[in-house]
Amino acid sequence: MGEKMKKIIFVCSVLSALLFVSGFSQNVFCQDNSQKLKDVLSKMEEADKNVKTFETDFSQEIFYSATSETQNIIGNLKYKKPDSIYIEQKTPQEQKIYIDGKKITVYTPENAQAIVDDWKNLLNGDFAPASIISFGGNWKDLSKNNVINYVGEDGESYIVEIYPSAKKDWTMQMSVSKISHYPYKAIITSAGLIIKVNLSNVKTNQNLKKDVFKFTPPDGVEVIKL
């Protein structure tokens, strides 16, 4: 599997888990008449109204069935409405990822290299869960092209499932906290891939400085624009 595809998988799975919070419930009620689903999404929407910034640690396990390879990733993610994101990946390789809603910059200190790409190129990529990522304005399209179901609940969370309505080539199950009404766990299943994402140490409405989300190339770093 190419490094670009691995990068897409990493960014998409983590961000889908986070950005499911913001705007998700605004336009999806038509997908499922379940009152329980409506109630859960309504609570998520209400909780999101009071959030301006969102910070979380994350862990991610990616299983590649073709090679039986498992990759473990840990890091920290900061999000500031409407579209500023900074991801610090700590393992297996240090990377710093900056997203401003228009472009994505992936800086790898070990390689002294930063790659800049159009954010839409990732959203339109081959890995289907990328299509659910939005910055507050695409949930109407989400509801048209995907099925959202209320699956059930356990002691701590409600479980919501989403998959494409045209072709069920990937599915994602989200665990939504009954207390905070934020998702904190996701399992994404696609052809040859199982991705498990866990969010922890969530903080909201922290004073995040603008500089955190801006990439300034250090001396000697090569910047490549795709």
- Which parts of the chain have pLDDT scores under 70? 1-33, 121-143
Q: Given this model, what pLDDT does residue 111 score?
A: 93
What pLDDT shows up at residue 129?
33
Task: Kindly report the pTM of this predicted structure.
Answer: 0.78
pLDDT in tens, 169-209: 888 888 888 998 888 888 888 888 898 888 889 898 999 98
Burial letters 175-214, b for 16+ CB under 10 A, else e: bbbeeebbbbbbbbbbeebebbbbbeebebeeebeeeebe
Note whether residue 80 is domain-resident. Answer: yes
Number of structural domains, the chain? 1
Q: Are the CB atoms for 98 and 88 separated by under 8 Å?
A: no
Tell me, what's the pLDDT at 130?
33
What is the CATH classification number for the domain harbouring 108? 2.50.20.10
Q: Could you tell me if residue 164 is inside a domain?
A: no
In a domain, 61, yes or no: yes
